[in-house]
Amino acid sequence: MSRTPLAGRMTADAPPGTVAFLIGMRINRPWRIRQWLPVATAMPRMLQELVAHPDLGLLAHRTYISGRTVLTVQYWRSAEDLDRYARARDQAHLPAWREFNRRVRDNGDVGIFHETYVLDRHETVYVNMPADFGLGGATSLAPLADRGQRAAHRLDPSVPDVPAVAPY
């Protein structure tokens, strides 16, 4: 993970069909460690597997912790790659999913969530950020000026590229 920021303003150059996948868990009953600990340890195992096998389609990931909630933001090459991994009998996800359903799906001790976004258009900006951050780090970066100075213009090129603040 790079800590050195790139000077200036950049944007992600992600191809259409790239997936942003948010997945996580919330510990609802912290004292029920035997229920939530297996859920908490499953994601690191899956991420190790995915990093070791880039052909599975994971481009990048980053995990965040806030109180009782753990969130992993993942970027995938495609929705098909994500679905293939989720259902693969010879990968770590399917056994973990089955174990969750067997142990805790209806007891409320721990919650899980995921959100999947297939990107056909996107708007990103990275100012003085490391090159490996976010969607731009998962795919590639381009100078912001190449796509336009205004966020609305980057999302819809028919919108005039007249920024509210002078660009630099």
* Domain assignments of the chain as residue spans, ordered by start: 7-153
- Placement of tokens 């679905």 in the chain: 83
- Confidence band of 104 (pLDDT split at 50, 70, 90): confident
pLDDT at 151 over 70: yes
Mean pLDDT value across residues 82-94:
95
Q: What are phi and psi of 140, to 5 degrees?
A: -155, 170
CB 75 within 8 A of CB 21: yes
Q: What is residue 2's predicted lDDT score, i.e. its pLDDT?
A: 65
Residues in CB range of 122: below 8 A, 6 or more apart: 12, 14, 135, 155
- Confidence band of 43 (pLDDT split at 50, 70, 90): very high
Mean pLDDT value across residues 43-58:
97
Percent of the chain with pLDDT over 90: 74
pLDDT at 118 over 70: yes
Residues in CB range of 13: below 8 A, 6 or more apart: 136, 139, 140, 141, 142
The correct CATH number of 7-153 out of 3.40.50.300, 3.65.10.10, 3.40.1390.20, 3.30.70.100 is 3.30.70.100
Q: What is residue 99's predicted lDDT score, i.e. its pLDDT?
A: 87
Mean pLDDT value across residues 69-88:
97
